[in-house]
Amino acid sequence: MATTIGVVCKPHTTDAVGIAELLLSIVPHARLLVEREGPHALENHNTAYIGVDRTEFEQASDLVVAFGGDGTLIHAASLLTQRVVPVLGVNLGRVGFLAEVLRAELNSLLPRALAGELPYTDRLRLDAKIIRNGAVRLQKRILNDAVVAQLALSRVALYRVNLNDELVTVLRGDGVIIATPTGSTAYSMAAGGSILAPDIAAIALTPICPHALSQRPLVLPIDGIIKVFLDSDSKVFVTLDGQFGQEFQSGDILEITAAPIPLRLLHMPGRSYFEILRKKLSWGES
Protein backbone atom coordinates (compact mmCIF):
# COMPACT_ATOMS: atom_id res chain seq x y z
CA MET A 1 0.00 0.00 0.00
CA ALA A 2 1.33 3.44 -0.96
CA THR A 3 2.51 5.82 1.73
CA THR A 4 0.07 8.68 2.26
CA ILE A 5 1.37 12.08 3.31
CA GLY A 6 -0.95 14.89 4.32
CA VAL A 7 0.45 18.23 3.15
CA VAL A 8 -0.45 21.58 4.69
CA CYS A 9 1.10 24.78 3.35
CA LYS A 10 0.72 28.35 4.48
CA PRO A 11 -2.07 30.12 2.57
CA HIS A 12 -1.26 31.54 -0.85
CA THR A 13 2.06 29.74 -1.02
CA THR A 14 3.96 30.40 -4.23
CA ASP A 15 5.93 27.15 -4.19
CA ALA A 16 3.27 24.45 -4.12
CA VAL A 17 4.76 22.80 -7.21
CA GLY A 18 8.26 22.80 -5.73
CA ILE A 19 7.02 21.29 -2.47
CA ALA A 20 5.29 18.46 -4.32
CA GLU A 21 8.38 17.79 -6.41
CA LEU A 22 10.57 17.75 -3.30
CA LEU A 23 8.34 15.29 -1.44
CA LEU A 24 8.02 12.96 -4.45
CA SER A 25 11.77 13.04 -5.07
CA ILE A 26 12.24 11.63 -1.56
CA VAL A 27 9.22 9.28 -1.50
CA PRO A 28 8.43 8.66 -5.20
CA HIS A 29 5.27 6.57 -4.78
CA ALA A 30 3.64 8.62 -2.02
CA ARG A 31 0.08 9.92 -2.24
CA LEU A 32 -0.02 13.62 -1.33
CA LEU A 33 -3.29 14.65 0.28
CA VAL A 34 -4.36 18.27 0.74
CA GLU A 35 -7.54 19.99 1.79
CA ARG A 36 -9.99 20.29 -1.06
CA GLU A 37 -11.36 23.68 0.02
CA GLY A 38 -10.23 26.72 1.94
CA PRO A 39 -7.08 28.90 1.95
CA HIS A 40 -4.82 25.86 2.39
CA ALA A 41 -6.19 24.03 -0.68
CA LEU A 42 -3.48 23.09 -3.20
CA GLU A 43 -4.93 20.68 -5.72
CA ASN A 44 -5.36 23.42 -8.34
CA HIS A 45 -1.62 24.15 -8.20
CA ASN A 46 -0.33 20.69 -9.09
CA THR A 47 -1.87 17.43 -10.21
CA ALA A 48 0.39 15.58 -7.76
CA TYR A 49 -1.94 16.68 -4.95
CA ILE A 50 -5.18 14.87 -4.17
CA GLY A 51 -7.83 17.17 -2.70
CA VAL A 52 -9.95 15.53 0.03
CA ASP A 53 -12.25 16.65 2.83
CA ARG A 54 -11.06 17.03 6.42
CA THR A 55 -12.31 13.59 7.47
CA GLU A 56 -10.42 11.71 4.74
CA PHE A 57 -7.34 13.86 5.30
CA GLU A 58 -7.21 12.76 8.94
CA GLN A 59 -8.15 9.13 8.42
CA ALA A 60 -5.88 8.41 5.45
CA SER A 61 -2.68 10.29 6.36
CA ASP A 62 0.27 8.27 7.68
CA LEU A 63 2.20 11.50 8.30
CA VAL A 64 1.38 15.19 8.03
CA VAL A 65 4.03 17.63 6.85
CA ALA A 66 3.28 21.30 7.49
CA PHE A 67 5.19 23.86 5.41
CA GLY A 68 5.11 27.36 6.86
CA GLY A 69 5.31 28.88 10.30
CA ASP A 70 3.73 28.01 13.59
CA GLY A 71 0.31 29.23 12.40
CA THR A 72 0.40 26.67 9.60
CA LEU A 73 1.29 23.91 12.04
CA ILE A 74 -1.55 24.96 14.36
CA HIS A 75 -3.93 24.71 11.41
CA ALA A 76 -2.58 21.23 10.63
CA ALA A 77 -3.27 20.25 14.24
CA SER A 78 -6.88 21.42 13.84
CA LEU A 79 -7.33 18.79 11.10
CA LEU A 80 -6.27 15.95 13.43
CA THR A 81 -8.85 15.70 16.19
CA GLN A 82 -9.82 12.02 16.33
CA ARG A 83 -6.55 10.10 15.93
CA VAL A 84 -2.84 10.55 16.61
CA VAL A 85 -1.00 11.30 13.36
CA PRO A 86 2.68 12.35 13.49
CA VAL A 87 3.27 15.93 12.32
CA LEU A 88 6.55 17.27 10.94
CA GLY A 89 6.81 21.06 10.79
CA VAL A 90 9.01 22.57 8.08
CA ASN A 91 9.85 26.20 8.71
CA LEU A 92 9.14 28.62 5.86
CA GLY A 93 8.36 31.52 8.17
CA ARG A 94 10.36 33.72 10.52
CA VAL A 95 10.46 32.23 14.03
CA GLY A 96 9.29 28.67 13.44
CA PHE A 97 9.29 27.64 17.08
CA LEU A 98 7.03 24.64 16.46
CA ALA A 99 7.99 24.20 12.80
CA GLU A 100 11.63 23.56 13.66
CA VAL A 101 12.82 21.54 10.62
CA LEU A 102 14.56 23.26 7.72
CA ARG A 103 13.56 22.44 4.16
CA ALA A 104 17.10 21.28 3.40
CA GLU A 105 16.81 18.69 6.19
CA LEU A 106 13.83 16.90 4.64
CA ASN A 107 15.91 14.57 2.49
CA SER A 108 17.26 12.81 5.55
CA LEU A 109 14.35 13.34 7.94
CA LEU A 110 11.29 12.43 5.85
CA PRO A 111 12.16 8.71 5.42
CA ARG A 112 12.92 8.50 9.16
CA ALA A 113 9.63 10.21 9.98
CA LEU A 114 7.70 7.69 7.88
CA ALA A 115 9.61 4.83 9.53
CA GLY A 116 8.74 6.10 13.01
CA GLU A 117 12.40 6.77 13.85
CA LEU A 118 12.24 10.45 14.84
CA PRO A 119 11.90 11.63 18.44
CA TYR A 120 8.58 13.23 19.32
CA THR A 121 6.53 14.80 22.08
CA ASP A 122 2.82 14.24 22.51
CA ARG A 123 1.61 17.80 23.03
CA LEU A 124 -1.32 18.44 25.35
CA ARG A 125 -4.36 19.94 23.67
CA LEU A 126 -7.46 21.51 25.18
CA ASP A 127 -11.15 21.16 24.42
CA ALA A 128 -12.74 24.60 24.57
CA LYS A 129 -16.47 25.32 24.62
CA ILE A 130 -18.37 28.58 24.70
CA ILE A 131 -21.74 27.97 26.33
CA ARG A 132 -24.63 30.44 26.20
CA ASN A 133 -27.98 29.74 27.88
CA GLY A 134 -27.06 26.05 28.20
CA ALA A 135 -26.22 25.62 24.51
CA VAL A 136 -22.73 25.18 23.04
CA ARG A 137 -22.11 28.07 20.64
CA LEU A 138 -18.54 27.21 19.67
CA GLN A 139 -16.44 24.09 20.34
CA LYS A 140 -12.86 23.44 19.20
CA ARG A 141 -9.86 21.29 20.07
CA ILE A 142 -6.92 23.65 20.41
CA LEU A 143 -3.14 23.33 20.59
CA ASN A 144 -2.05 26.75 21.87
CA ASP A 145 -4.51 28.81 23.86
CA ALA A 146 -7.91 30.26 24.54
CA VAL A 147 -7.85 34.04 24.98
CA VAL A 148 -10.64 36.08 26.53
CA ALA A 149 -9.94 39.75 25.86
CA GLN A 150 -11.52 43.09 25.14
CA LEU A 151 -13.09 43.43 21.71
CA ALA A 152 -12.27 47.13 21.54
CA LEU A 153 -11.06 49.98 23.71
CA SER A 154 -13.34 50.03 26.73
CA ARG A 155 -13.32 50.05 30.48
CA VAL A 156 -11.63 47.29 32.47
CA ALA A 157 -13.61 44.05 32.49
CA LEU A 158 -14.29 41.75 35.45
CA TYR A 159 -13.55 38.04 35.00
CA ARG A 160 -14.27 35.12 37.31
CA VAL A 161 -12.33 31.85 37.03
CA ASN A 162 -13.43 28.53 38.57
CA LEU A 163 -11.73 25.15 38.76
CA ASN A 164 -14.16 22.26 39.30
CA ASP A 165 -16.78 24.82 40.41
CA GLU A 166 -14.45 26.19 43.09
CA LEU A 167 -13.57 29.86 42.79
CA VAL A 168 -9.94 30.39 41.77
CA THR A 169 -9.91 34.16 41.34
CA VAL A 170 -11.81 37.23 40.29
CA LEU A 171 -9.68 39.63 38.30
CA ARG A 172 -10.06 43.03 36.75
CA GLY A 173 -8.07 43.59 33.61
CA ASP A 174 -7.97 43.33 29.85
CA GLY A 175 -8.46 39.56 29.78
CA VAL A 176 -7.17 36.11 30.61
CA ILE A 177 -5.23 33.46 28.68
CA ILE A 178 -5.59 29.70 29.21
CA ALA A 179 -2.63 28.03 27.52
CA THR A 180 -1.12 24.59 27.03
CA PRO A 181 2.63 24.08 27.54
CA THR A 182 2.90 24.52 23.76
CA GLY A 183 0.99 27.79 23.94
CA SER A 184 2.96 29.00 26.95
CA THR A 185 5.62 30.40 24.60
CA ALA A 186 3.06 32.41 22.60
CA TYR A 187 0.70 35.17 23.84
CA SER A 188 0.87 33.84 27.39
CA MET A 189 4.63 34.42 27.52
CA ALA A 190 4.26 37.88 26.01
CA ALA A 191 1.74 38.71 28.76
CA GLY A 192 4.21 37.66 31.47
CA GLY A 193 3.14 34.05 31.92
CA SER A 194 5.43 31.16 32.82
CA ILE A 195 7.04 28.99 30.16
CA LEU A 196 6.00 25.35 30.62
CA ALA A 197 8.18 22.57 29.23
CA PRO A 198 6.23 20.63 26.58
CA ASP A 199 6.16 17.34 28.50
CA ILE A 200 4.55 18.87 31.62
CA ALA A 201 0.91 17.97 32.18
CA ALA A 202 -0.30 21.41 33.21
CA ILE A 203 -2.29 24.43 32.04
CA ALA A 204 -1.11 28.04 32.30
CA LEU A 205 -3.55 30.72 33.43
CA THR A 206 -2.22 34.21 32.65
CA PRO A 207 -4.01 37.51 33.34
CA ILE A 208 -3.73 40.18 30.63
CA CYS A 209 -2.85 43.58 32.11
CA PRO A 210 -4.45 42.90 35.52
CA HIS A 211 -5.45 45.95 37.55
CA ALA A 212 -4.02 44.54 40.83
CA LEU A 213 -0.41 43.70 41.66
CA SER A 214 -1.63 40.55 43.45
CA GLN A 215 -2.89 38.97 40.20
CA ARG A 216 -0.10 36.66 39.08
CA PRO A 217 0.18 33.84 36.50
CA LEU A 218 -1.00 30.48 37.79
CA VAL A 219 -0.29 26.87 36.75
CA LEU A 220 -3.27 24.50 37.05
CA PRO A 221 -3.66 20.69 36.82
CA ILE A 222 -5.12 19.10 33.70
CA ASP A 223 -7.62 16.81 35.46
CA GLY A 224 -10.20 19.50 36.20
CA ILE A 225 -12.71 21.73 34.44
CA ILE A 226 -11.75 25.39 34.09
CA LYS A 227 -14.58 27.85 33.64
CA VAL A 228 -14.28 31.54 32.84
CA PHE A 229 -17.20 33.94 33.34
CA LEU A 230 -17.61 37.60 32.43
CA ASP A 231 -19.07 39.49 35.39
CA SER A 232 -19.25 42.94 33.82
CA ASP A 233 -21.04 44.60 30.93
CA SER A 234 -18.01 44.74 28.64
CA LYS A 235 -17.32 44.07 24.97
CA VAL A 236 -15.26 40.89 25.06
CA PHE A 237 -14.18 38.31 22.47
CA VAL A 238 -12.90 34.73 22.84
CA THR A 239 -10.21 33.58 20.41
CA LEU A 240 -9.21 29.92 20.11
CA ASP A 241 -5.72 29.23 18.74
CA GLY A 242 -5.86 32.57 16.95
CA GLN A 243 -8.07 30.96 14.30
CA PHE A 244 -11.60 30.73 15.67
CA GLY A 245 -13.64 32.94 17.94
CA GLN A 246 -16.83 34.72 18.86
CA GLU A 247 -18.18 37.45 21.06
CA PHE A 248 -18.35 36.63 24.78
CA GLN A 249 -21.21 38.08 26.81
CA SER A 250 -22.09 38.38 30.46
CA GLY A 251 -23.63 35.03 31.42
CA ASP A 252 -21.59 33.06 28.87
CA ILE A 253 -19.22 30.31 30.04
CA LEU A 254 -15.85 29.42 28.53
CA GLU A 255 -15.26 25.81 29.58
CA ILE A 256 -11.78 24.28 29.20
CA THR A 257 -10.78 20.63 29.69
CA ALA A 258 -7.75 18.57 28.67
CA ALA A 259 -8.32 16.83 25.33
CA PRO A 260 -8.01 13.02 25.27
CA ILE A 261 -6.01 13.04 22.01
CA PRO A 262 -2.66 14.88 21.91
CA LEU A 263 -0.76 16.22 18.94
CA ARG A 264 2.30 14.10 18.12
CA LEU A 265 5.01 16.56 17.07
CA LEU A 266 8.18 15.17 15.50
CA HIS A 267 11.58 16.70 16.24
CA MET A 268 15.01 17.00 14.75
CA PRO A 269 17.28 14.44 16.48
CA GLY A 270 19.68 16.09 18.90
CA ARG A 271 17.88 19.45 18.85
CA SER A 272 16.55 20.13 22.35
CA TYR A 273 13.60 22.26 23.41
CA PHE A 274 15.84 24.54 25.47
CA GLU A 275 18.21 25.00 22.55
CA ILE A 276 15.27 26.25 20.49
CA LEU A 277 14.23 28.58 23.34
CA ARG A 278 17.70 30.08 23.44
CA LYS A 279 18.12 30.35 19.69
CA LYS A 280 14.70 31.51 18.53
CA LEU A 281 13.36 33.37 21.57
CA SER A 282 16.71 34.58 22.94
CA TRP A 283 15.83 33.01 26.31
CA GLY A 284 18.43 33.56 28.98
CA GLU A 285 20.36 36.25 27.12
CA SER A 286 21.56 39.17 29.23
Alpha carbon dihedral 101, 105, 110, 116, in 10-degree steps, equals -60
Pick the catalytic residue from 15, 62, 70, 174: 70
Helix (H) or strand (E) holding 150: strand 145-150
Question: Concatenated DSSP letters for 107-125?
Answer: HHHHHHHHTT-S-EEEE--
* 182 CB-near residues (< 8 Å, 6+ apart): 98, 123, 124, 143, 144, 198, 263
Does the annotation mark 62 as catalytic? no
Edge to edge, what strands does the sheet with 244-248 contain?
A: 218-220, 203-208, 175-179, 145-150, 236-240, 244-248
Question: Could you give the residue numbers annotated as active site?
Answer: 70
